Amino acid sequence: MADRLGRPLRDLRISVTDRCNFRCTYCMPKEIFGKDHPFLPHASLLTFEEITRIARLFITHGVQKIRLTGGEPLLRKNIEVLIEQLAALRTLEGKPLDLTLTTNGSILARKAKALKAAGLRRVTVSLDGMDDAVFRSMNDVDFPVADVLAGIEAARLAGLGPIKVNMVVKRGTNEQEILPMARHFRGTGVVLRFIEYMDVGATNGWRMDEVLPSSEVIKLLRTELPLVPLDPTAPGETAERWGYADASGRHDPRLGEIGVISSVTRAFCGSCNRARLSTEGRLFLCLFASQGYDLRALLRGEATDEAIASAIGRIWQGRSDRYSELRSTMPAGSTGGARHIEMSYIGG
């Protein structure tokens, strides 16, 4: 099954909560997500049974990979139970899913073992710098770097690898952390990925001049650490891969690799095979969509599995979203006419 631009559906991202214990300035600025912010009531959230049912129906359309996200997914109570249910699902080819999760790492040290035992394959951890003062001010809840590093180490010991670490780069805020992050993770087996600061949501006050293009990240890294381009490992992969080179200029697998995700300067909509399910069961076809399709109404109504699966199919087949490709043609500061949904609502 393909959408109107010929793209298959392979990757489903499920947001399991809209709450978070961080207030990253680029995602959930405190002024907007304060004490009085109306988060979703529990009854609005899809239950684990509803999520597993819908995941099974997405798989009938070719989904191979499921990523749990949020908000902070590890804050959802008994998340291990959901992971167990999802880990039991099989792809159309009868294989286990590529089941993963994106977390801020704050409670990963406590949870890593249980997550692995439940059937989670690997994790992606977000970390925006090695310097404590910089990181504490970016997460805006004074959370220390050391605790995230402890989470990453616990995940490694639990066998939740290969671990990826995502760093959002904001010019003028944490660009000085690029080299220290690379030095820290080189040779550890962790794949560090630099993400361009994106204009997701409507509350972070995004400005183009705060985007540090990935090309500049690579240029900076190469002043100290030799890098060579690597081939993509999977179709639709968002990250461009670069391997650390040895003295002879060839990639040395022991030193590992990094990735750059150029969501702003080099759109990859042409191969975008991702669907996103919000915490309350709305299906979004693009990170920059302003409207979702209410699948929860179908799940809580009388609809049969077949009816829901065919609704998903119809929605995907009608998809023509390619916001990042169109962004460059929009007037500066424009959002294409609509208010974007928040990253903390839809996940990354």
Which parts of this chain interact with ligand SAM (CB under 6 A)?
A: 20, 26-27, 69-70, 72, 102-104, 126, 166, 168, 195, 197-198, 200, 204, 343-344, 347-348
> What does 204 bind: ligand SAM, ligand SF4, none (CB cut-off 5 to 8 Å by kind)?
ligand SAM
Whose CA is closest to 280, among 74, 41, 44, 29?
Answer: 44
Closest CA to 65 of 92, 45, 47: 92
Minimal distance in Å, beta carbon 14 to ligand SF4? 14
Find the shortest distance in angstroms from Cβ 28 to ligand SAM: 8
Distance CA 291, CA 44 (A): 17
User: Any idea which residue has 């039991």 for tokens?
Assistant: 88
Residues contacting 114, CB < 8 A, separation 6+ = 80
Residue 321 interacts, among ligand SAM, ligand SF4, none and using kind-specific CB cut-offs from 5 to 8 Å, with: ligand SF4
* Binding residue (CB under 6 A) for ligand SF4 from 166, 204, 262, 324: 324
What residue ranges in the chain does DSSP mark as E strands? 11-15, 65-69, 98-103, 122-126, 164-169, 191-196, 227-229, 240-244, 257-261, 274-277, 282-284, 293-294
Residue 268 interface partner, choices ligand SF4, ligand SAM, none, CB cut-off 5-8 Å depending on type: ligand SF4
Which amino acid does the sequence have at 302? E
User: SS3 breakdown of the chain: % helix, strand, coil, rounded to 5?
Assistant: 30, 20, 50
Q: Which is nearer to ligand SF4, 23 or 111 (CB)?
A: 23
Question: What residue type is assigned to position 320 of the chain?
Answer: S
Out of ligand SF4, ligand SAM, none, which partner does residue 14 contact, by CB within 5 to 8 A per kind?
A: none
Q: In this chain, which stretch among 46-54, 129-137, 189-197, 321-329 interacts with ligand SF4, using CB under 6 A? A: 321-329
Which is closer to ligand SAM, CB of 70 or CB of 129? 70
Site residues (vs ligand SF4, CB under 6 A)? 20, 22-24, 27-28, 70-72, 104, 126, 267-269, 272, 286-288, 321-324, 343-344
